[in-house]
Amino acid sequence: QTSVSPFLLYQICTNLEFISLTCDIAYVGVGKVCFLVAKQDYSETAIYIKVNFLSSGAITSLLTLNSSDPVNTTSFWRVRSLTFGGYLFISFDVNFNSIDGVLYDGKVGTAYGFGSIDNSWQFDITDDLPKSAGDRDKGYSNLNVESTIPKIQSTVKPNLDEVSITFYDPVALSTGKLSIYQKDGDKTYLRQSFQPYFLSIENDNRTVTGRILNSTFSVSKGNYFIKVDNDFVRDRVFNEPMLGIRENIWNFTTEERIDHFSRSATGILRLTPGGTLYFDNLTSDHFFDNLLNEISYAVPINRSRLSSNGRTQVDNSVNEKQYLISIDIKETRIENDISVATVIKYLDFMVRYKDQTPIGEGQTTQYLDEKYGFVRSPNLWEKYKFGLLGIFLFVGLLIVLFLFAQIRDSRGNNIAILQLGIIILDLVMDILFVNSNARDIPILYLPSVLFLVIPVGINTILAFSIVTNENTNTKFNQWFKTNAKVAFLFTILAGADIKALNILHSKFAGFSCFRAPFSESLKVKILWGSCLSIFIADIPQVAIQIYYMQKVYFRDTIPFLTLIFSTLNLTINIVSRLYHLTNRVINQNASNYHDSNDSNNSDDFDDFDAVVLPNSKKKIKKK
């Protein structure tokens, strides 16, 4: 309320003795009203003066009330303005501890007396007390209100889209609010509040209208009331604040709403930048409990149907640091209980319009981002169906190529094409993860990039070095000149994993381009290069994927597939490397045995798994 400087209302004449002063709101009309009680010198007759004035100090009326009631020296009088017009004169007898009074209806000569007898009240009338304001009273305890939508004691549809209040005289919007509450027994729940900027005024400036949110009347057959603050509107002529409507006066009910069953679901909320900072600075772990309690109150929904995994994830679609959090909503089959789909719809509205709903008033929910709302977790198939179909087609193509190779020439290491496919898929998924998901957990982004780029760089350098040095081998050089494009292609692919070079001498499907004459030294370099990749690429990447899956609040397809292919690639690498190392030891022993027993060993043995140490010039005899 704006304070003003003192101003003069009424000046008593020198022959008047001031008795009392009582001021109140003018329930009829606008402004304020003060009652002065005085008496003339040497007179026992009281004079009652009513002064109506505005907040500015301007006097709108001055009236001397007609009364012949004596001023009792053992009592004092007060005058009150009544809600429906008229005045109440009250006398407090300080000696006899009694209260007496007179009701005036504002008309000369009409008064109704009452008194206190044995701690009870007794009126000296036989008829109802009249309302001097005439037919202006429409049941709102506010003589300025002509009508409303919805009406008092009415039943409305749950999809009612607007509320309005019509005044007798032109008004202008002020600073007060209009608020809709749901009443459940002794409890009341705020459903929606209207600030002035959410309202419109029409009908010659007499009707104020507000748009109702879809979430407001969320309870089937619910009991509601609308409260109007004082100074919600001002009289347009005098610019004076007008009275509002108290609680439980403007009340009504909603019709039954049929809600269809829907399955349990998960939705996503986003904290504002301020909310994210607030969360980071918390010293207790009650944030999610408080959040769920406040959401339960706001919707309203049974608290047992709400849960959260208590995890946060950074939203990389915005510039500032903002956390995403998930809320699980449990399905229900209880009649008239709100369904999961309806909860999602209502909560989205309430967050987006939180300055009108209880969400904006909660200690925790106030930090929810109204720009994001409440978003149902995406259908991963709809989101990634084309990418998944591409993967399925690629895997299908690999299987077809493998079967084709087996039919054409089953003597080759045809399974190498499947191993190559896993290498390619693993690299592609790693790149997609870094690009789409690694920033979800800030501490994972740099390691994800490093353990992708560094191994690719090392493998690429190693692959080109191996191929370049092998060209000093006459047989390999002749093969390389004939199959240069194929060699270059798989040297590039070896950047993903050095084992990709193995397909060049796998004899895949019997094609000559896959019969590269690798030396034993080249095979050993590939073996130790692949062992190195296990420690600098495969194991770190799997660890990153596992950590990510433990920390994120919802599962996405890309990290899930990345984890699958990384784990599969790691498993194959470990098993195959152990096999190769074991085979080397066995072949070394066999080589020593044949050296001492057979001097006619063959030089053309080219089995991929039968490798020897680089310093050994022995070869196993082909059987």
Q: Give tens-digit pLDDT for 133-163.
A: 667 888 898 889 999 999 999 999 988 999 9
pLDDT in tens, 221-234: 899 999 999 999 99
In this structure, the dihedral spanned by the alpha carbons of residues 272, 278, 279 and 280, taken in order and rounded to 10 degrees, is 110
- Counting Cβ atoms within 10 Å, is residue 307 exposed (0-12), middle (13-18) or buried (19+)? middle
Given a contact cutoff of 8 angstroms between Cβ atoms, the answer to whether 232 and 182 are in contact is no
Smallest Cα–Cα separation from 129: which of 191, 183, 188, 86?
A: 86
Task: Identify the pLDDT of residue 23.
Answer: 84
Average pLDDT over residues 195-220: 91
Query: Would you say residue 610 has pLDDT above 90?
Result: no
Q: What is the largest CA-CA distance in the chain?
A: 152
pLDDT for 386: 80
Say whether pLDDT at 385 is over 80. Answer: no
- 499 close to 439: Cβ distance less than 8 angstroms: no
Confidence of residue 603 (pLDDT cuts 50, 70, 90): very low
Query: What percent of the chain shows pLDDT beyond 90?
Result: 34
Q: Does residue 102 sit in helix, strand or coil?
A: strand
Domain range 138-254, CATH class: mainly beta
pLDDT of residue 596: 47
Residue 94's pLDDT is 57
Q: In 144-255, where do the E strands start and end? A: 145-149, 154-156, 162-167, 171-173, 178-184, 187-194, 199-202, 207-211, 223-228, 233-235, 245-254
Confidence class of residue 591 from pLDDT cuts 50, 70 and 90?
low
- Report the alpha-carbon distance of residue 357 to residue 216 in Å, rounded: 8
Q: Please, which pLDDT band fits residue 609 given cuts at 50, 70 and 90?
A: very low
Least confident of 432-436, 530-534, 578-582: 578-582
pLDDT of residue 598: 47
Question: Is omega for the bond preceding 150 within 30 degrees of 0, making it cis?
Answer: yes
With a cut of 60, say whether residue 615 has pLDDT above it. Answer: no
231, 291, 296, 220: which is closest to 259 by C-alpha?
220
Mean pLDDT of the chain: 82
pLDDT at 86: 73
pLDDT at 344: 94
Average pLDDT for 532-559: 84
95-121: average pLDDT: 57
Q: Which residues contact 77 (CB under 8 A, 6 or more apart)?
A: 19, 20, 37, 46, 69, 71, 89, 90, 91
**93-113 b/e with 16+ CB inside 10 Å = b?**
eeeeeeebbbbbbbeeeebbe
pTM over cut 0.75: no
Domain spans in the chain, listed from the N-terminal domain onward: 16-134, 138-254, 265-376, 394-594
**308-327 pLDDT, tens per residue?**
988 888 887 888 999 999 89
- Which position has the higher pLDDT, 380 or 347? 347
Copy the structure tokens of residue 452. 């992708």
